[in-house]
Amino acid sequence: MQQDADVIVVGAGFAGMYMLHRARQLGFRAVVIETGSEVGGTWYWNRYPGARCDVQSMSYSYSFSDDLQQEWVWPDRYATQPDILRYAKHVADRFDLRRDIRFNTRVTAARFDQAQNVWQIETDAGGLFVAPFLIMATGCLSVPKVPDVPGIKNFRGRVLHTANWPQEGVDFSGQGVGILGTGSSGIQAIPHIAQQARHLTVFQRTPNFSIPAWNGPISPQTQADLKGRYSELRYKSRNSYAGDYADEYVVSILDLSPQEREVQFEKRWQEGGFNYQYAFADVMENAQANELAAEFVRNKIRGIVRDSKTAEMLCPKGHPFGAKRLCVDTGYYETYNRPNVALVDIRADPIQDMTAGGLRTATSTYSFDTLVLATGFDAMTGALTRIDIRGRDGVLLRDRWQDGAKAYLGLAVAGFPNMFTINGPGSPSVLANMVLACEQHVEWIAALLAHSRENGIAVIEADSVAQEDWAREVTESADRTLYTRAASWYLGANVPGKPRVFMPYVEGFCVYSRTCDAVAASGYSGFHLASGG
């Protein structure tokens, strides 16, 4: 029968690109199918002004090739979207990846053929791909969430989504702009749009905690120093909670005197970024410690934003610090001191409907030429449930997950043999440095494929009991933290009708990867491995 490859990979972001390279290294024939016209995934789609990574670039980059990490020069501590996309293209060229990537092609359906032990994969280009193994590198944050704003069809201006930004860019000069959403993308875009637009109105439902990036160029000396220590730093990252080499859990807030606390909070604030969350051992475990860390940030906001009413509106109060994804910004709070920026609290004064020239809340009307939606994603499962994936006996993955997504180790789903998910629900995914998380999954899956070939195994399937046990571990460990005390996208709370199940694994990247290694060392406990006969 037709067989196009040993492995079909869906998605050409950091996960899919490395999966292709690793599969080839092991002698497998792999083909990648990608909706976009280029590699890069997240960094291909999210071209909004101000888009950049918030894990430092020397860490948020591939470690699998020492030549690559030594030769590449990151201009800034936190690289811009164009620089990260340039890097992804360089990787594609350097490892000759494009010849096995089918661009501009969306996978619409995949069906496991039990008689032949192969996946049949359909695309919107009309083709059918057949392969024994299917690897979903479809991304955790790759399906934009478009809110249901009443009357949006009435609006005569332009509507843009940060995650599907026009390739040619947007010039806001002289325009009135409205923006909906103050999560990571909104917080990055707002200072840039404010500098260009005539006027910017920020419609805020939930304020989020944001820590300054203190971004800037990486000096040649710092770059050389870090490169000289790369193997040590990568080792440290692989053995860390967040997959990064910053020092973690060095301080317990409640063990410190009030004066010492202020010193430590100020130190982490000045270091910037996620260090403010990951330096403190008890911040996500203890509500009192969390509130102290939160109040320090609120006081910073009150110190930066001159108008006290606006400052108070920007202070998050309804959820624990860090329970919604922490934001990292450049000049976000300062932007509200500009005369051309206004903040509207749409929780207090909800949007009624959109008009031809803007929108109406219960008490006011607002005019603008362009509406920017910075409203996030159907996270972690959205890209998978949009595809018609049918496993054993024609069971649909979407149906299987209707009460909440479960995947053994976040890697494989019972009833869906020979299919693997990279950064799937139940893996650390969005709580870790995701380039490293991609590498760890790719390497683990590749080793299992090699093991199967060596041992004549044709069918690999997660055991349903092992999957249930893992799902319970994921839920219970999240319940022991403060993560579940916010209506976050980690829980699916931003998508109406989505089951509220905490999806990422909170025990840390290092604990998780050791668990995966132990599963492999035990001969893949929790998986059924069967020969084809």
By CB under 6 A, tell whether 423 contacts ligand FAD.
Answer: yes
By CB under 6 A, tell whether 60 contacts ligand FAD.
Answer: yes
By CB under 6 A, tell whether 14 contacts ligand FAD.
Answer: yes
Q: Are 360 and 353 in contact (CB under 8 A)?
A: yes
By CB under 6 A, tell whether 503 contacts ligand FAD.
Answer: no
Which range of residues in 134-142, 175-183, 214-222, 318-326 is near ligand FAD by CB under 6 A? Answer: 134-142
By CB under 6 A, tell whether 35 contacts ligand FAD.
Answer: yes
Rounded-to-integer distance, Cα 315 and Cα 313, Å = 6
By CB under 6 A, tell whether 491 contacts ligand FAD.
Answer: no
Where residue 393 falls (left for φ over 0; alpha for ψ -120 to 50; beta otherwise) is left
- With CB under 6 A as the rule, give the number of residues binding ligand FAD: 36
By CB under 6 A, tell whether 466 contacts ligand FAD.
Answer: no
By CB under 6 A, tell whether 330 contacts ligand FAD.
Answer: no
CB-nearer residue toward ligand FAD: 279 or 457: 279
Q: Are 30 and 9 in contact (CB under 8 A)?
A: yes
By CB under 6 A, tell whether 46 contacts ligand FAD.
Answer: yes
Q: How many residues does the chain have?
A: 533
CB-nearer residue toward ligand FAD: 261 or 498: 498
By CB under 6 A, tell whether 380 contacts ligand FAD.
Answer: no
In angstroms, what is the minimal distance from the CB of 470 to ligand FAD? 20
- The owner of tokens 């899919």 is 16
Of 450, 444, 448, nearest to 238 by C-alpha is: 444
By CB under 6 A, tell whether 210 contacts ligand FAD.
Answer: no
Out of 5, 107, 121, 179, point to the residue binding ligand FAD (CB under 6 A).
107
By CB under 6 A, tell whether 141 contacts ligand FAD.
Answer: yes
Q: Which residues does 298 contact at the CB level (< 8 Å), separation at least 6?
A: 315, 316, 317
CB-nearer residue toward ligand FAD: 18 or 502: 18
By CB under 6 A, tell whether 378 contacts ligand FAD.
Answer: no
By CB under 6 A, tell whether 240 contacts ligand FAD.
Answer: no
By CB under 6 A, tell whether 434 contacts ligand FAD.
Answer: yes
Q: Are strands 158-161 and 370-373 parallel, antiparallel or unpaired?
A: parallel
Of 296, 295, 298, 285, nearest to 483 by C-alpha is: 285
Q: Which two tokens stand for residue 372?
A: 């920017």
Q: Hey, how many other C-beta atoms are within 10 angstroms of the C-beta on 470?
A: 24
By CB under 6 A, tell whether 11 contacts ligand FAD.
Answer: yes
CB-nearer residue toward ligand FAD: 343 or 438: 438
Q: How far are the Cα atoms of 233, 366, 409, 494 from residue 429, in angstroms, in the given order?
A: 20, 39, 11, 18
Which range of residues in 27-35, 110-118, 260-268, 367-375 is near ligand FAD by CB under 6 A? Answer: 27-35
By CB under 6 A, tell whether 137 contacts ligand FAD.
Answer: yes
Q: Which two tokens stand for residue 433?
A: 């440095």
By CB under 6 A, tell whether 387 contacts ligand FAD.
Answer: yes
Out of 7, 28, 30, 42, point to the residue binding ligand FAD (CB under 6 A).
42
Q: How many helices (H) and strands (E) does the chain have?
A: 16, 21
By CB under 6 A, tell whether 138 contacts ligand FAD.
Answer: yes
By CB under 6 A, tell whether 54 contacts ligand FAD.
Answer: yes
Of 498, 492, 491, nearest to 475 by C-alpha is: 491
By CB under 6 A, tell whether 142 contacts ligand FAD.
Answer: yes
CB-nearer residue toward ligand FAD: 419 or 438: 438
Out of 175, 182, 185, 204, point to the residue binding ligand FAD (CB under 6 A).
185
In angstroms, what is the minimal distance from the CB of 447 to ligand FAD? 19
Report H helices in 345-485.
382-385, 397-400, 434-454, 464-479
**Residue 456 CB burial class (10 angstroms; 0-12, 13-18, ≥19):** exposed
CB-nearer residue toward ligand FAD: 42 or 513: 42
DSSP for 255-316 reads: GS-HHHHHHHHHHHHHH-TTHHHHTBTTTTT-HHHHHHHHHHHHHHHHHH-SSHHHHHHHS-
In angstroms, what is the minimal distance from the CB of 501 to ligand FAD? 20
Q: Which residues does 168 contact at the CB level (< 8 Å), separation at least 6?
A: none
Q: Which two tokens stand for residue 370?
A: 């362009």
By CB under 6 A, tell whether 421 contacts ligand FAD.
Answer: no
Q: How far are the Cα atoms of 150, 404, 436, 474 from residue 506, in angstroms, in the given order?
A: 36, 17, 16, 7
In angstroms, what is the minimal distance from the CB of 19 to ligand FAD? 9
By CB under 6 A, tell whether 41 contacts ligand FAD.
Answer: yes
| Phi, psi of 136, rounded to the nearest 5 degrees | -95, 100
Chain residues in the site for ligand FAD (CB under 6 A): 10-16, 33-36, 41-42, 44, 46, 51, 53-55, 60, 106-107, 137-142, 185, 383, 387, 422-423, 433-434, 438
